[in-house]
Structure 1
Amino acid sequence: MSSIEAPILSIKNVHKQFGAGCSTCQDQTGRALIKNYCKACGTVYACQDISFDLYPGEILGIVGESGSGKSTLMRCLYFDQEVTSGEAYLSQYEGGEKSLFQESSQKKRYIRNHLMGKVYQNPLLGLKMNFSSIGNIAEKLIAAGNRNVGQMESRGKELLEYVNIPDYRMKEAPKNFSGGMQQRVQIAKALSNNPPILLLDEVTTGLDLSVQASVLDLIKHLQRELAISMIIVSHDLGVIRMLADRTLVMLDGKVIEQGLTDQILEDPQGPYTQQLVQSLL
């Protein structure tokens, strides 16, 4: 990654809250919150003023405990939820001049189907469990406008082979697969239209250690082979250490520290980040 290279994705001042807020929690000077929760009205400030850039070919890690806002941020980036406010610019969309969050539902679908792929923590959110594995990939291709059955089958086989799904299981439904194999099918589906950006949300959570290792090896292989830009979210700093070039640390809806992953591991600044690093030792 060159220091003078332009970012492929720029996120600016993203806020996401659940609830309308009240006078108690909307007073920015003396906001009375318990972590990121307003006891008076029940509003949760899940993401608070999040800004970062993602560069071509980079893996950006986002680490934090459960409830820190990292998965909410990923849902907002993939339009699974609407932001409360903020901007997002993608260099390969409208020359990077239009905020993605302000676009119509139709244009957001185009962005999801052509310019981004997402792998969910829960495969039920990313896969049709009763479709065949090839059928899942075809679904994504159809959403992007492909109607050629032969091309879709060929592309499906190519991708499933790439993520090490055996040929004889490609027409099998993911409901019959292990968790690790389901994640591999999700990865293949997310890559089906060659998106420049891949979002990975807690993709190894709940998997056995050996299966985790094989999925992480696959992600590293994909990045080397395809030079795709990735954002990977995890509560496990060990996963981030293995994959990420740079890292954001989130706590209570805020980015509290960011920098090169090696730098954060060697010289964590805040007490929470120090605690995370200490847990690796």
Structure 2
Amino acid sequence: MDEFATPLLSVREVNKQFGNGCDHCRVLTPDSLMKNFCPVCRTVYSCQNISFDLYPGEVLGIVGESGSGKSTLMRCLYFDQEVTSGEAYIRTYQDGSKNVFEESAQQKRYIRNHVLGKVYQNPLLGLRMNFSAIGNIAEKLIAAGSRHVGAMEERGMALLEHVNIPTYRMKEAPKNFSGGMQQRVQIAKALSNNPPILLLDEVTTGLDLSVQASVLDLIKQLQRELNISIIIVSHDLGVIRMLADRTMVMLDGKVVEQGLTDQILEDPQHPYTQQLVHSLV
């Protein structure tokens, strides 16, 4: 079987709701919710029956407006939040036989430290601002079982050089760095254990345009060199156009369209995607 024809990550019917639901919204119909919100019991249905596959070496873009559920989906995939229901299988973990959402807290920690890397929109969530840049990488390596100080220092320096952090600043704390440099340290930290899957959540939001471009170039270069699979979330179709092979469009907690990025940008089918694409032109 061609390994590139087999998904690296398979996600099936993921639901995430905030609130218990009520008789009005429990059977979801177009009339029961205002967008993804129940006006009766105030439950928010952030993700509704989300299913997709991610293939080896592929970049999957997830695009949608604020509140569409894309960042909630990323938090669920990285176990920052628990799903309400759903399944996810990772081929490099237990041969893809275990629903990772049902694994123990200890096993989820193992998956976070060995199989997944994540770069957050807000560097405060991904970095310890008072640790040195190289100390942040060492923290991730220690969590994955590394104990050899020399080897960790060597790995940390190589990664920081790779993301263009000058050697003389490696012992400096990220709180002294610019936003773009903080994101580059986060990328280095996320890649420290060679995870097969990298999750990028709005990584360029709030950065100056020139800095955005250099961070995106870096991601593109790393993806090519490491042949890593990436899920990138953005509300900016320009980012998705530059990086993603395939794109999934989310609106009000649901996937409204998915397909090859070129196809979606050139011939969008759903009215919301059409609106997004026309706003880019």
- Identify whether the pair has TM-score above 0.5, normalized to the shorter chain: yes
For 1:73 and 1:225, locate their aligned partners in 2 and report how far apart those are by CA, in whole Å.
27
Displacement after TM superposition at 1:280 (Å): 1.1
1:42 paired with 2:51, answer no
For 1:4 and 1:219, locate their aligned partners in 2 and report how far apart those are by CA, in whole Å.
21
Q: How does 1:112-191 map to 2 (within 5 A)?
A: 112-191=112-191
Q: Secondary structure at the match of 2:53?
A: strand
Q: Secondary structure at the match of 1:24?
A: coil
For 1:247 and 1:256, locate their aligned partners in 2 and report how far apart those are by CA, in whole Å.
11
Displacement after TM superposition at 1:279 (Å): 1.0
Q: How does 1:1-281 map to 2 (within 5 A)?
A: 5-29=5-29, 32-281=32-281
Could you tell me which amino acid in structure 2 is paired with residue 69 of structure 1? G
Worse-matched range after superposition: 2-11 or 230-239: 2-11
Could you tell me which amino acid in structure 2 is paired with residue 55 of structure 1? Y
For 2:67 and 2:190, locate their aligned partners in 1 and report how far apart those are by CA, in whole Å.
25
For 2:154 and 2:202, locate their aligned partners in 1 and report how far apart those are by CA, in whole Å.
29
Contact 2:4 2:55 in 1 (8 A): no
Q: Secondary structure at the match of 2:217?
A: helix
Cα RMSD (Å) of the superposition? 1.1
Structure 2, gaps ≥5 residues long:
none
Q: Structure 1, residues 84-104: CA drift from partner, whole Å, max 9, x if none?
A: 000000000111010000000
Q: Secondary structure at the match of 2:248?
A: strand
Change (3 A) 1:131 1:4: closer
Structure 1, gaps ≥5 residues long:
none
Q: Structure 1, residues 183-217: CA drift from partner, whole Å, max 9, x if none?
A: 00000000000000000000000000000000000
Percent of counterpart pairs with the same letter? 79
Could you tell me which amino acid in structure 1 is paired with residue 134 of structure 2? I
For 2:42 and 2:228, locate their aligned partners in 1 and report how far apart those are by CA, in whole Å.
40
Q: Secondary structure at the match of 1:26?
A: coil
Displacement after TM superposition at 1:73 (Å): 0.1
For 2:3 and 2:263, locate their aligned partners in 1 and report how far apart those are by CA, in whole Å.
16
Displacement after TM superposition at 1:258 (Å): 0.2
For 2:67 and 2:84, locate their aligned partners in 1 and report how far apart those are by CA, in whole Å.
18
Residue correspondences, number:
280
Contact 1:160 1:188 in 2 (8 A): yes
For 2:101 and 2:163, locate their aligned partners in 1 and report how far apart those are by CA, in whole Å.
32
Displacement after TM superposition at 1:29 (Å): 4.7
Contact 1:9 1:55 in 2 (8 A): yes
Q: Structure 1, residues 146-171: CA drift from partner, whole Å, max 9, x if none?
A: 11111111100000000000000011
Could you tell me which amino acid in structure 2 is paired with residue 135 of structure 1? G
For 1:106 and 1:27, locate their aligned partners in 2 and report how far apart those are by CA, in whole Å.
34
For 1:224 and 1:28, locate their aligned partners in 2 and report how far apart those are by CA, in whole Å.
42
